[in-house]
Amino acid sequence: MAQAHCKVSNKLKADAVREEGVSLASGELTNLLFVDDASLAATGHERAPCLLGLLGAFCKATGMAANAAKCEALIFGGTAREQKRLMEAEYCLCGTCLRVL
Protein backbone atom coordinates (compact mmCIF):
# COMPACT_ATOMS: atom_id res chain seq x y z
CA MET A 1 0.00 0.00 0.00
CA ALA A 2 1.33 3.44 -0.88
CA GLN A 3 2.11 5.67 2.05
CA ALA A 4 -0.11 8.72 2.44
CA HIS A 5 1.60 12.08 2.41
CA CYS A 6 1.26 13.37 5.95
CA LYS A 7 3.69 14.59 8.51
CA VAL A 8 4.21 12.37 11.54
CA SER A 9 6.83 13.50 14.00
CA ASN A 10 7.90 12.41 17.47
CA LYS A 11 5.94 15.34 18.84
CA LEU A 12 2.35 14.97 17.67
CA LYS A 13 0.51 18.23 17.25
CA ALA A 14 -3.26 18.71 17.35
CA ASP A 15 -3.04 20.76 14.14
CA ALA A 16 -1.68 17.73 12.24
CA VAL A 17 -4.69 15.69 13.29
CA ARG A 18 -7.19 18.50 12.60
CA GLU A 19 -5.98 18.76 8.98
CA GLU A 20 -7.26 15.23 8.31
CA GLY A 21 -10.75 15.53 9.82
CA VAL A 22 -14.33 15.71 8.68
CA SER A 23 -15.81 19.21 8.40
CA LEU A 24 -18.82 19.92 10.54
CA ALA A 25 -20.87 23.10 10.91
CA SER A 26 -19.11 23.83 14.20
CA GLY A 27 -15.58 22.72 13.24
CA GLU A 28 -13.57 19.58 12.48
CA LEU A 29 -14.11 16.02 13.71
CA THR A 30 -11.10 13.71 13.51
CA ASN A 31 -11.57 11.37 16.43
CA LEU A 32 -13.79 10.28 19.27
CA LEU A 33 -11.87 9.08 22.30
CA PHE A 34 -13.44 7.43 25.35
CA VAL A 35 -11.51 5.47 27.97
CA ASP A 36 -9.91 2.69 25.87
CA ASP A 37 -11.89 3.19 22.64
CA ALA A 38 -11.02 5.41 19.70
CA SER A 39 -12.88 6.24 16.50
CA LEU A 40 -11.11 8.06 13.67
CA ALA A 41 -13.03 9.95 10.97
CA ALA A 42 -11.54 10.67 7.53
CA THR A 43 -13.14 12.02 4.37
CA GLY A 44 -11.43 9.63 1.98
CA HIS A 45 -8.85 6.94 1.35
CA GLU A 46 -6.03 9.48 1.15
CA ARG A 47 -6.74 10.76 4.66
CA ALA A 48 -7.47 7.44 6.36
CA PRO A 49 -3.90 6.07 6.17
CA CYS A 50 -2.62 9.37 7.53
CA LEU A 51 -4.88 9.18 10.58
CA LEU A 52 -3.95 5.53 11.10
CA GLY A 53 -0.29 6.55 10.86
CA LEU A 54 -0.82 9.27 13.45
CA LEU A 55 -2.49 6.76 15.78
CA GLY A 56 0.41 4.36 15.26
CA ALA A 57 2.93 7.14 16.00
CA PHE A 58 0.98 8.13 19.13
CA CYS A 59 1.03 4.53 20.35
CA LYS A 60 4.76 4.27 19.71
CA ALA A 61 5.50 7.60 21.42
CA THR A 62 3.43 6.77 24.52
CA GLY A 63 4.15 3.06 24.80
CA MET A 64 0.47 2.30 24.30
CA ALA A 65 -0.82 -0.26 21.80
CA ALA A 66 -3.84 -0.51 19.53
CA ASN A 67 -5.21 -4.00 18.99
CA ALA A 68 -5.47 -3.96 15.20
CA ALA A 69 -7.27 -7.32 15.28
CA LYS A 70 -10.21 -5.57 16.97
CA CYS A 71 -10.17 -2.56 14.59
CA GLU A 72 -12.34 -2.10 11.51
CA ALA A 73 -12.72 0.39 8.67
CA LEU A 74 -16.30 1.51 8.06
CA ILE A 75 -17.12 2.99 4.66
CA PHE A 76 -20.21 5.16 4.18
CA GLY A 77 -21.36 7.93 1.86
CA GLY A 78 -20.22 8.68 -1.66
CA THR A 79 -21.30 7.21 -4.96
CA ALA A 80 -21.50 3.47 -5.57
CA ARG A 81 -18.28 3.70 -7.59
CA GLU A 82 -16.46 5.57 -4.80
CA GLN A 83 -17.72 3.10 -2.18
CA LYS A 84 -16.48 0.15 -4.26
CA ARG A 85 -13.02 1.74 -4.63
CA LEU A 86 -12.87 2.47 -0.90
CA MET A 87 -14.03 -1.05 0.02
CA GLU A 88 -11.25 -2.57 -2.12
CA ALA A 89 -8.51 -0.39 -0.59
CA GLU A 90 -6.27 -1.53 2.28
CA TYR A 91 -6.35 0.21 5.63
CA CYS A 92 -3.49 -0.80 7.91
CA LEU A 93 -2.62 -0.02 11.51
CA CYS A 94 0.85 -0.87 12.81
CA GLY A 95 1.42 -3.28 9.92
CA THR A 96 -1.91 -5.12 10.29
CA CYS A 97 -4.60 -4.67 7.63
CA LEU A 98 -8.03 -3.89 9.03
CA ARG A 99 -11.29 -5.57 8.10
CA VAL A 100 -13.39 -3.29 5.85
CA LEU A 101 -17.14 -3.06 6.45
What contacts 79, CB < 8 A, 6 or more positions away?
none
List % helix, strand, coil for the chain (3-state, nearest 5): 30, 20, 45
- Is the Cα torsion angle 79, 82, 88, 94 positive or negative in sign? negative
Number of domains in the chain: 1
pTM of the model: 0.66
pLDDT surpassing 50 at residue 73: yes
30-56: per-residue pLDDT in tens? 767 777 788 888 877 788 888 888 888
Domain span at residue 95 reads 14-100
Task: Assess if residue 1 is contained within a domain.
Answer: no
Task: Assess if residue 69 is contained within a domain.
Answer: yes
With cut-offs at 50, 70 and 90, classify the pLDDT of residue 27.
low
| Whole-number Å distance between alpha carbons of 82 and 76 | 10
